[in-house]
Copies of this chain bind each other. A is one copy, B any other.
Amino acid sequence: MEKERSITHPDFSKCPICSAISKENMEELYRSMKYKISGYTRGEVIARQGDICKHLYILIKGAVKTEMVTDTGGLLTIENIEAVRPLASAFLFAEDNRFPVDVTATEESVVLTIPKEEVIKLFQKDAGFLERYIMYNSNKTQFLSNKLQVVTIKTIKAKLAHYLLEQLNICHTVSPSVNTFQMDKNQTELAKFFGVTRPALARTLSELAQDGLIATERNKITVLKKQALQNLLG
């Protein structure tokens, strides 16, 4: 009984775009809107690369992965998404509204689908939902722009300098005089984030330390010459 109820009326409070929908509109949605709720088992395919995207997909339970099939049949995992999140918010309204990826459930999952026309109706009824929807896509654009910039940085040294200065800024917002901070990733993770190998990253770190720009102690870092780090960027 409890499970039944949680599926018909899922918890949207954690969803970045649905949490804004007013109570009345939510009731209205369940009463009069065309929508569908589907369950998927682990490994089941939710959407295929190339499929036309005519619905807004909202993952309300479980987790999925998105993969791209290369021409040779090789698989490339793009993203892992956990509930509660929209699955195709940027494709529904794009000119080329086809899925660029396969979407596969990695756990027992539940997906709510709403037809495009109904989403547009909901936009007109609920300004909060509309604003959140636009905000979500805008945030994504910003995130991608930023990521693209970071990826574009050529050398490991410059990537590291960029990252360290960013971390330093964050820790300065707490206390501007402290130049020592804990890294939020370990070396292995950071190397993967940069798209480089772990030994190469460790080497670059020790080079920076040798040159006296920073001091390292496990994954605690002290910035000694901020100016010199900044010079590495340009």
A95 at the interface (CB under 8 A from B): yes
**CA–CA, A123 and B122, complex, Å:** 13
Q: Which residues in window 104-138 of A have CB below 8 A to B?
A: 120, 123-124, 127, 130-131, 133-135, 137-138
A185 at the interface (CB under 8 A from B): no
A28 at the interface (CB under 8 A from B): no
Q: With A134-B133, A147-B148 known to touch, is A142 a contact of B230 (CB < 8 Å)?
A: no
Q: With A94-B142, A144-B145, A145-B144 known to touch, is A74 a contact of B233 (CB < 8 Å)?
A: yes
Name the segment of A5-13, A39-47, A85-93, A170-178 touching the other chain: A85-93
Chain A contact residue count (CB 8 A cutoff): 46
A139 at the interface (CB under 8 A from B): yes
- Contact (Cβ within 8 A) A138 B92: yes
Give 10 pairs: A residue, B residue, CB < 8 Å, sorted on A. A89-B138, A90-B138, A90-B141, A91-B138, A94-B142, A120-B131, A124-B127, A134-B134, A141-B141, A144-B145
A-to-B contact residues, CB < 8 Å:
68, 70-72, 74, 76, 89-96, 100, 120, 123-124, 127, 130-131, 133-135, 137-142, 144-149, 151-152, 154, 165, 195, 227, 230-231, 233-234
